[in-house]
Amino acid sequence: MRLTSDHVALITGGASGLGAAAARRLHHLGAQVVLVDLDEEAGTRAAEALGERASYLRADVTDGDAVAAAVDAARQRGELRVAVSCAGVGWASRILTRDGPHDLELFQRVVGINLIGSFNVLRLAAAAMSDLPPLDGDRGLIVNTASIAAFDGQIGQVAYAASKGGVAAMTLPAARDLARHAIRVMTIAPGTFATPMLDGVTEEIRTALAEQIPHPARLGDPGEYGLLVEQLVAHPYLNGEVIRLDGALRMGPR
Protein backbone atom coordinates (compact mmCIF):
# COMPACT_ATOMS: atom_id res chain seq x y z
CA MET A 1 0.00 0.00 0.00
CA ARG A 2 1.10 3.53 -0.72
CA LEU A 3 0.09 5.66 2.24
CA THR A 4 -0.93 9.31 2.04
CA SER A 5 -2.31 11.91 4.44
CA ASP A 6 -5.79 10.48 3.76
CA HIS A 7 -4.71 7.30 5.55
CA VAL A 8 -4.32 6.63 9.25
CA ALA A 9 -2.07 4.27 11.20
CA LEU A 10 -2.93 3.38 14.79
CA ILE A 11 0.01 2.29 16.94
CA THR A 12 -0.44 0.92 20.46
CA GLY A 13 2.52 1.32 22.76
CA GLY A 14 3.33 4.23 20.49
CA ALA A 15 4.80 6.50 23.13
CA SER A 16 8.23 4.87 23.18
CA GLY A 17 10.43 2.03 21.98
CA LEU A 18 9.27 -0.10 19.08
CA GLY A 19 5.89 1.61 18.84
CA ALA A 20 7.39 5.07 18.60
CA ALA A 21 9.81 3.84 15.93
CA ALA A 22 6.95 2.37 13.89
CA ALA A 23 5.03 5.63 14.23
CA ARG A 24 7.99 7.63 12.93
CA ARG A 25 8.30 5.42 9.86
CA LEU A 26 4.59 5.49 9.05
CA HIS A 27 4.48 9.23 9.58
CA HIS A 28 7.46 9.57 7.22
CA LEU A 29 5.50 7.64 4.59
CA GLY A 30 2.87 10.37 4.73
CA ALA A 31 0.19 8.77 6.88
CA GLN A 32 -1.52 10.29 9.87
CA VAL A 33 -0.52 8.46 13.02
CA VAL A 34 -2.51 7.94 16.21
CA LEU A 35 -0.36 6.92 19.17
CA VAL A 36 -2.19 4.87 21.80
CA ASP A 37 -0.50 4.43 25.17
CA LEU A 38 -1.13 4.61 28.92
CA ASP A 39 1.77 7.01 29.48
CA GLU A 40 0.15 10.38 28.84
CA GLU A 41 3.30 12.43 29.26
CA ALA A 42 5.40 10.29 26.92
CA GLY A 43 2.55 9.87 24.44
CA THR A 44 1.89 13.59 24.21
CA ARG A 45 5.60 14.30 23.87
CA ALA A 46 5.99 11.69 21.09
CA ALA A 47 3.03 13.08 19.13
CA GLU A 48 4.30 16.63 19.47
CA ALA A 49 7.75 15.57 18.27
CA LEU A 50 6.21 14.16 15.10
CA GLY A 51 4.20 17.35 14.63
CA GLU A 52 1.54 17.64 11.98
CA ARG A 53 -0.52 14.49 11.25
CA ALA A 54 0.19 12.98 14.69
CA SER A 55 -1.98 12.69 17.79
CA TYR A 56 -2.04 10.82 21.09
CA LEU A 57 -4.88 8.97 22.80
CA ARG A 58 -4.81 7.29 26.18
CA ALA A 59 -6.22 3.76 26.20
CA ASP A 60 -5.67 0.41 27.89
CA VAL A 61 -5.43 -2.27 25.19
CA THR A 62 -7.28 -4.76 27.40
CA ASP A 63 -10.32 -2.43 27.56
CA GLY A 64 -12.71 -3.08 24.68
CA ASP A 65 -14.53 0.23 24.99
CA ALA A 66 -11.33 2.26 25.25
CA VAL A 67 -9.78 0.67 22.17
CA ALA A 68 -13.05 1.02 20.26
CA ALA A 69 -13.03 4.74 21.09
CA ALA A 70 -9.43 5.02 19.89
CA VAL A 71 -10.29 3.27 16.62
CA ASP A 72 -13.27 5.58 16.14
CA ALA A 73 -11.05 8.61 16.78
CA ALA A 74 -8.57 7.32 14.20
CA ARG A 75 -11.35 6.85 11.64
CA GLN A 76 -12.40 10.45 12.09
CA ARG A 77 -8.97 11.49 10.79
CA GLY A 78 -9.15 9.39 7.64
CA GLU A 79 -9.08 5.79 6.42
CA LEU A 80 -7.61 3.44 9.01
CA ARG A 81 -5.25 1.37 6.87
CA VAL A 82 -2.60 0.17 9.33
CA ALA A 83 -2.72 -1.00 12.95
CA VAL A 84 0.47 -1.90 14.81
CA SER A 85 0.31 -3.50 18.26
CA CYS A 86 3.40 -2.79 20.35
CA ALA A 87 1.84 -2.41 23.80
CA GLY A 88 3.30 -5.06 26.08
CA VAL A 89 4.97 -5.95 29.36
CA GLY A 90 7.82 -8.32 30.19
CA TRP A 91 7.47 -9.12 33.87
CA ALA A 92 9.42 -12.22 34.87
CA SER A 93 8.99 -14.93 37.49
CA ARG A 94 9.93 -18.56 37.93
CA ILE A 95 7.13 -21.09 38.32
CA LEU A 96 8.38 -21.96 41.80
CA THR A 97 9.95 -19.20 43.89
CA ARG A 98 11.10 -18.87 47.48
CA ASP A 99 7.75 -17.25 48.23
CA GLY A 100 5.72 -20.04 46.61
CA PRO A 101 4.31 -20.81 43.16
CA HIS A 102 4.13 -18.29 40.33
CA ASP A 103 1.58 -15.60 41.07
CA LEU A 104 -1.56 -16.40 39.03
CA GLU A 105 -2.63 -12.78 38.77
CA LEU A 106 0.76 -11.83 37.33
CA PHE A 107 0.45 -14.56 34.68
CA GLN A 108 -3.06 -13.42 33.79
CA ARG A 109 -1.94 -9.80 33.60
CA VAL A 110 0.94 -10.54 31.21
CA VAL A 111 -1.26 -12.68 28.96
CA GLY A 112 -4.02 -10.09 29.19
CA ILE A 113 -1.88 -7.21 27.97
CA ASN A 114 0.35 -8.99 25.47
CA LEU A 115 -2.06 -11.49 23.92
CA ILE A 116 -5.62 -10.44 24.66
CA GLY A 117 -4.70 -6.78 24.17
CA SER A 118 -3.26 -7.58 20.73
CA PHE A 119 -6.39 -9.50 19.77
CA ASN A 120 -8.59 -6.67 21.03
CA VAL A 121 -6.82 -4.23 18.72
CA LEU A 122 -6.85 -6.71 15.84
CA ARG A 123 -10.59 -7.38 15.98
CA LEU A 124 -11.58 -3.72 16.23
CA ALA A 125 -9.11 -2.49 13.63
CA ALA A 126 -10.21 -5.22 11.23
CA ALA A 127 -13.85 -4.20 11.65
CA ALA A 128 -12.94 -0.60 10.78
CA MET A 129 -10.85 -1.65 7.77
CA SER A 130 -13.45 -4.04 6.36
CA ASP A 131 -15.66 -1.22 5.07
CA LEU A 132 -12.88 0.55 3.17
CA PRO A 133 -12.38 0.36 -0.59
CA PRO A 134 -9.30 -1.67 -1.59
CA LEU A 135 -6.04 0.28 -1.83
CA ASP A 136 -3.46 -1.38 -4.09
CA GLY A 137 -5.32 -4.64 -3.45
CA ASP A 138 -5.49 -4.34 0.36
CA ARG A 139 -8.05 -2.88 2.70
CA GLY A 140 -5.56 -2.83 5.52
CA LEU A 141 -2.59 -4.31 7.34
CA ILE A 142 -2.42 -5.40 10.97
CA VAL A 143 1.01 -5.94 12.51
CA ASN A 144 1.35 -7.69 15.86
CA THR A 145 4.48 -7.92 17.98
CA ALA A 146 5.58 -11.25 19.41
CA SER A 147 9.13 -11.99 20.59
CA ILE A 148 11.76 -14.63 20.03
CA ALA A 149 10.73 -15.71 23.53
CA ALA A 150 7.73 -17.26 21.77
CA PHE A 151 10.19 -19.86 20.45
CA ASP A 152 13.19 -19.64 22.82
CA GLY A 153 11.59 -18.78 26.14
CA GLN A 154 14.07 -18.57 28.98
CA ILE A 155 13.88 -19.44 32.67
CA GLY A 156 11.54 -16.97 34.34
CA GLN A 157 9.75 -16.14 31.08
CA VAL A 158 6.89 -18.61 31.28
CA ALA A 159 4.18 -15.91 31.29
CA TYR A 160 5.92 -13.73 28.72
CA ALA A 161 6.71 -16.67 26.41
CA ALA A 162 3.15 -17.97 26.68
CA SER A 163 1.70 -14.56 25.80
CA LYS A 164 4.04 -14.00 22.86
CA GLY A 165 3.63 -17.59 21.69
CA GLY A 166 -0.09 -16.90 21.54
CA VAL A 167 0.50 -13.81 19.41
CA ALA A 168 2.65 -15.83 17.02
CA ALA A 169 0.11 -18.67 16.82
CA MET A 170 -2.72 -16.22 16.17
CA THR A 171 -1.06 -14.87 13.02
CA LEU A 172 -1.93 -17.50 10.41
CA PRO A 173 -5.56 -18.15 11.44
CA ALA A 174 -6.16 -14.41 11.67
CA ALA A 175 -4.72 -13.89 8.19
CA ARG A 176 -6.84 -16.71 6.80
CA ASP A 177 -9.93 -15.40 8.56
CA LEU A 178 -9.46 -11.85 7.23
CA ALA A 179 -8.33 -12.82 3.72
CA ARG A 180 -11.84 -12.45 2.34
CA HIS A 181 -11.79 -8.86 3.56
CA ALA A 182 -8.40 -8.21 1.89
CA ILE A 183 -6.78 -7.48 5.26
CA ARG A 184 -3.26 -8.78 5.79
CA VAL A 185 -1.96 -9.89 9.20
CA MET A 186 1.73 -10.09 10.01
CA THR A 187 3.74 -10.56 13.20
CA ILE A 188 7.24 -9.38 14.02
CA ALA A 189 9.18 -11.33 16.65
CA PRO A 190 12.00 -9.04 17.85
CA GLY A 191 15.11 -10.27 19.59
CA THR A 192 17.02 -8.16 22.11
CA PHE A 193 16.36 -4.51 21.33
CA ALA A 194 17.48 -1.29 22.97
CA THR A 195 14.06 -0.32 24.26
CA PRO A 196 12.79 1.06 27.61
CA MET A 197 12.48 -2.54 28.84
CA LEU A 198 16.28 -2.50 29.20
CA ASP A 199 16.48 0.92 30.84
CA GLY A 200 17.16 -0.58 34.26
CA VAL A 201 19.91 -2.89 33.01
CA THR A 202 23.58 -2.07 33.60
CA GLU A 203 25.95 -1.37 30.72
CA GLU A 204 27.80 -4.58 31.57
CA ILE A 205 24.65 -6.64 31.12
CA ARG A 206 23.74 -4.79 27.90
CA THR A 207 27.19 -5.63 26.52
CA ALA A 208 26.79 -9.27 27.51
CA LEU A 209 23.40 -9.42 25.80
CA ALA A 210 24.85 -7.91 22.63
CA GLU A 211 27.71 -10.41 22.56
CA GLN A 212 25.23 -13.29 22.37
CA ILE A 213 23.90 -12.06 19.02
CA PRO A 214 25.72 -13.69 16.06
CA HIS A 215 25.53 -10.82 13.56
CA PRO A 216 25.33 -7.95 13.92
CA ALA A 217 26.65 -8.40 17.47
CA ARG A 218 24.70 -5.54 19.02
CA LEU A 219 21.30 -4.78 20.41
CA GLY A 220 18.60 -4.14 17.87
CA ASP A 221 17.74 -0.54 17.09
CA PRO A 222 14.01 0.30 17.36
CA GLY A 223 14.36 2.03 14.01
CA GLU A 224 15.02 -1.39 12.46
CA TYR A 225 11.66 -2.56 13.77
CA GLY A 226 10.09 0.54 12.24
CA LEU A 227 11.83 -0.18 8.94
CA LEU A 228 10.35 -3.69 8.87
CA VAL A 229 6.87 -2.28 9.50
CA GLU A 230 7.40 0.05 6.53
CA GLN A 231 8.48 -2.89 4.39
CA LEU A 232 5.41 -4.90 5.43
CA VAL A 233 3.19 -2.02 4.34
CA ALA A 234 4.91 -1.94 0.96
CA HIS A 235 5.05 -5.69 0.28
CA PRO A 236 1.65 -6.99 -0.89
CA TYR A 237 2.52 -10.69 -0.77
CA LEU A 238 3.58 -10.87 2.87
CA ASN A 239 0.68 -12.28 4.84
CA GLY A 240 0.14 -14.74 7.69
CA GLU A 241 3.80 -14.95 8.65
CA VAL A 242 5.91 -14.41 11.78
CA ILE A 243 9.26 -12.74 11.02
CA ARG A 244 12.08 -13.08 13.53
CA LEU A 245 14.05 -9.85 13.78
CA ASP A 246 16.96 -10.98 15.92
CA GLY A 247 20.36 -11.07 14.18
CA ALA A 248 20.22 -14.90 14.18
CA LEU A 249 19.98 -15.02 17.98
CA ARG A 250 18.73 -18.26 19.54
CA MET A 251 18.40 -17.73 23.27
CA GLY A 252 19.71 -20.26 25.75
CA PRO A 253 17.80 -21.34 28.85
CA ARG A 254 19.18 -18.41 30.91
Distance CA 229, CA 116 (A): 21
Catalytic, out of 56, 160, 225, 237 = 160
Crossing angle of helices 158-178 and 117-129, rounded to 10°: 20
b vs e for 188-216, b when ≥16 Cβ sit within 10 Å of the residue's Cβ?
A: bbbbbbbbeebeeeeeeeeeebbeebeee
Instruction: Please check whether residue 142 is in contact with residue 184, taking contact to mean a CB–CB distance below 8 angstroms.
Output: yes
Pairing of strands 100-101, 96-97: antiparallel
Instruction: Please check whether residue 161 is in contact with residue 94, taking contact to mean a CB–CB distance below 8 angstroms.
Output: no
Active site residue 160: yes
- Give which of 121, 113, 142, 124 is closest to 229, Cα–Cα: 142
By annotation, the residues acting in catalysis are 160
